[in-house]
């Protein structure tokens, strides 16, 4: 029997994933699950560019605006929530379509996640003391002895990863390279198709600038002021626009400078997103331009599937 199929529409911010996903979902008989680390929060509609209520009425959306921004959210919890939604959608005879730009969320769904047990502060502290006393090379040689496979993939000077691998071995008795192979994800159970939108860099940056201006026109200042009255979780506080507008509200710089910072940091974020997705060889790249509307983008992806 053919495996049930799960689809991903990913890519950098401002490429038009949200709108194209509506047309694509209808062709696939799919429901949309957010693959965005920020859209899960309530009251962060403008700053996270959530799909509008109108769009969400056209196709069912999941994991959008379901959590207070004062609460922490992580990959483990996201995976648990997403798996439940996938099962529910498949039971209804539909296909799950993940849409968003959080590469880590996509990866832990496709490849799975492995449990390393509880982090041991005592073990980690001891390892950092050894680093200070004997240097990075000393710890790296220890890793080479207990887990040569992991050591071959880590630079000797990457102390953080070396220490984490040693910590896992000392706390579980098993090499981290072994534990990583035990994880199971969508790729083992389903037919997975991943599409990433891409466009010329100049066009992308122009779109980012226009989106930021639109966010301000829609009331970004008011939304962030309201959020500033809440004790935001560490995760929610990373949303681009929070820190940049904090300086404006404090009178450190003017509104134009705040906008410039938001645009600049969003462009940097888009570059990081592209880097992440380009490392995954399973991604099918869909090159688009400003002349193609969301329907045209969906048609292009549909033709690749047929």
In the chain, where the domains are located:
5-113+187-305, 121-181
Which residues of the chain, if any, have pLDDT below 50? Answer: none
The predicted pLDDT at position 118 comes to 60
Predicted TM-score of the model (pTM): 0.84
List the beta bridge partners of residue 191. 5
pLDDT in tens, 53-85: 999 999 999 999 999 999 999 999 999 999 999
In the prediction, which pLDDT does 209 show? 98
Which position has the token pair 């940056």? Answer: 205
8 φ/ψ angles, rounded to the nearest 5 degrees: -125, 130
Helix (H, G, I), strand (E, B) or coil at 241: coil
Per the listing, tokens 């200042």 go with 221
Position 115 scores a pLDDT of 66
pLDDT tens digits, 158-171: 888 899 899 989 98
**Per CATH, is 5-113+187-305 categorized as 3.40.50.300?**
yes
Give the architecture (CATH level 2) of 121-181. Answer: Orthogonal Bundle (1.10)
Rounded to the nearest angstrom, the gap between the alpha carbon of residue 172 and the centroid of all alpha carbons in its chain is: 28
**Euclidean distance between CA atoms 103 and 42, whole angstroms:** 22
> How many Å apart are CA 209 and CA 206, to the nearest integer?
5
């Amino acid at each position: 029997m053919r495996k049930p199929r799960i689809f991903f529409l990913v890519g950098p911010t401002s490429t038009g994933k949200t709108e194209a996903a509506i047309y694509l979902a209808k062709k696939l008989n799919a429901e949309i699950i957010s693959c965005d680390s920020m859209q899960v929060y309530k009251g962060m509609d403008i700053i996270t560019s959530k799909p509008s209520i109108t769009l969400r009425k056209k196709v069912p959306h999941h994991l959008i605006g379901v959590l207070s921004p004062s609460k922490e959210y992580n990959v483990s919890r996201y995976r648990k929530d997403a798996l439940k939604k996938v099962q529910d959608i498949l039971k209804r005879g539909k296909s799950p379509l993940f849409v968003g730009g959080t590469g880590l969320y996509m990866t832990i769904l496709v490849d799975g996640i492995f449990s390393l047990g509880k982090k041991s502060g005592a073990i980690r502290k001891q390892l950092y003391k050894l680093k200070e006393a004997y240097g990075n090379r000393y710890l790296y040689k220890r890793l080479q002895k207990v887990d040569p496979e992991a050591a071959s993939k880590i630079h000797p000077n990457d102390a953080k990863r070396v220490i984490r691998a040693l910590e896992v071995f000392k706390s579980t008795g098993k090499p981290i390279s072994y534990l990583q192979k035990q994880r199971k994800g969508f790729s083992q159970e389903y037919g997975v198709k991943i599409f990433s939108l891409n466009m010329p860099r100049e066009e992308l940056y122009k779109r980012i600038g226009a989106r930021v201006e639109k966010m301000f026109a829609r009331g970004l200042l008011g939304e962030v002021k309201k959020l500033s009255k809440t004790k935001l979780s560490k995760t929610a506080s990373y949303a681009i626009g929070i820190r940049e507008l904090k300086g404006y509200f404090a009178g450190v710089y003017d509104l134009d400078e705040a906008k410039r910072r938001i645009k600049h940091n969003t462009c940097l974020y888009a570059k990081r997103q592209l880097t992440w997705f380009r490392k995954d060889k399973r991604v099918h790249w869909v090159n688009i331009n400003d002349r193609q509307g969301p329907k045209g983008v969906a048609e292009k992806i549909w033709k690749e599937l047929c």
